[in-house]
Amino acid sequence: MDDDIISIEKNITCDQYGDALGNINGGYLVNYKCSFEKNEEEDEDYEINSIKIDKMEIKDNDNKIIQDFDAEKKEFDVNEIESSSLDDYNYTFNKMKIKDTSNVILKDQLTFDIIGDLDSHINGEKEYEILLKDNNKENVKSICKFKTTENNLDNQSISCSAEIVNKKIEYLTFENGMFASKTDNKDIIILNINDNVVLTIPEKKGGLSAGAIIGIIIAGLVLIVIVAFLVCKFLKKKKFSGKQENYFPSKKRNNDYESKDIF
């Protein structure tokens, strides 16, 4: 380790100065401007290379702590910290709160609909790659198609599909987070999931079960027996009718015989 590198404990204060979407969109993406007090005698000879956050506190406007927690032990490079915020770029954001799922079908792939409320309208069809996790904590990627919205933004139904490799998967859960459009990585959908939304995997459809196959075989045998019985009955009836014609000549044939005797 370089002897010139030392660690100094500092309190960093971050003030919210706005949000990337504007207040009309709910303010769920916020930006902060952070700084710390410098001690001229101690700090003038040092240059900051990185910052590691150990503990965080959130205070309200009255400087009262409303939440405190141990932060993730991540070290930030100064270049990463000083990079431009999201609102300096031409990003577009939309937020959807997933409330339920429907039409869950497993054939060659898993198809399902997600039901939720959008924050703003969508113009044109857009596809997003949404991340889910199975009951084994493995990632499952799904493609969800968002279509042009009408007047109402609530209870929107979005069609999704996913490849299921592991046939032992029992259920999938959604992941909160931001997901970029497949055609434009600056077009972002933000998912917020109700805790009770779980995608239960149904039995695979498309093939016949053993019970269905046995039922079809039995039905086929019954049909063959019925047809054979009807054919035999028809042949016997026809044979009996032929014998009656030999023993009992028709009246027409009898008249012909009598007419020949007269002439």
Cβ atoms 130, 160 nearer than 8 A: yes
Cβ atoms 113, 157 nearer than 8 A: yes
Dist CA 115 CA 160 (whole Å): 11
**pLDDT digit string (tens) for the chain, length 263 residues:** 455 677 788 888 888 765 544 444 445 566 677 887 777 665 566 777 888 888 888 888 788 888 777 766 667 777 766 666 665 567 788 889 999 999 999 888 899 999 999 988 888 899 999 989 998 888 899 999 999 988 889 999 999 999 887 668 889 998 888 888 988 888 888 888 887 899 998 877 655 555 656 767 776 676 777 777 676 776 766 555 555 555 444 444 444 444 444 33
0.85 surpassed by pTM: no
- In the chain, the amino acid numbered 122 is I
Number of neighbours of residue 209 by Cβ within 10 angstroms: 9
Beta pairing, strands 92-106 & 187-193? parallel
